[in-house]
Amino acid sequence: MVSKVGAAGSASAAGQGKKSFWRRRRFLIASLAILLAMAYLMLNAFNSFGTYYLTLDEFRAQGASVYGTEVRITGKIDGASISWDNRSRVMAFAITNADGRDRMPVVYSGVVPDTFKAGNDVVLDGKYESGTFKATKLQVKCPSKYVPL
């Protein structure tokens, strides 16, 4: 009689051991899946913040390799070139490089920020086609130095 109780007790303990093993394994798999998902989301977030943009001089140095491809470019707004068509909601302007010697015409259709003014730095996303940069996104950079109004 003692041997039957001992055998039943050990069988019960073995069943408990298997249950806890699978329970721990499921917990580890779920934890690993959550950690991988968090790592993926963080990597995507950091990649979007680290997007590099080309200056107008760097863009010109790239040559034909960047023509027709999606690119991000920066330059200063040439105030004399700004024109706005109310009917088509299209704005045309030019950006210049740091010394003002090189110009690139830009066409943009979309919301224009309030800070869009002559001489401000702007970052544009779009494609260079047929001698004009066709911007799909426009951002005005914050000034590096505060100037009171």
Model confidence pLDDT, tens digit, residues 103-147 = 999 999 988 888 888 889 999 999 999 889 999 999 998 766 665
Alpha-carbon distance 8 to 44, whole Å? 54
Strands 71-85 and 121-129: antiparallel
Would you place residue 67 in the very low, low, confident or very high pLDDT band (cuts 50, 70, 90)? confident
pTM, entire model: 0.62
Give the per-residue pLDDT at 45. Answer: 73
Give the per-residue pLDDT at 29. Answer: 93
User: Based on the structure, what is the number of domains in the chain?
Assistant: 2
Is 64's pLDDT higher than 80? yes
Q: What is the CATH number of the domain that holds 74?
A: 2.40.50.140
Quote the DSSP letter at residue 115: T
Which domain does 95 fall in, by range?
Answer: 54-140
Q: Mark whether 27 and 71 lie in a shared domain.
A: no
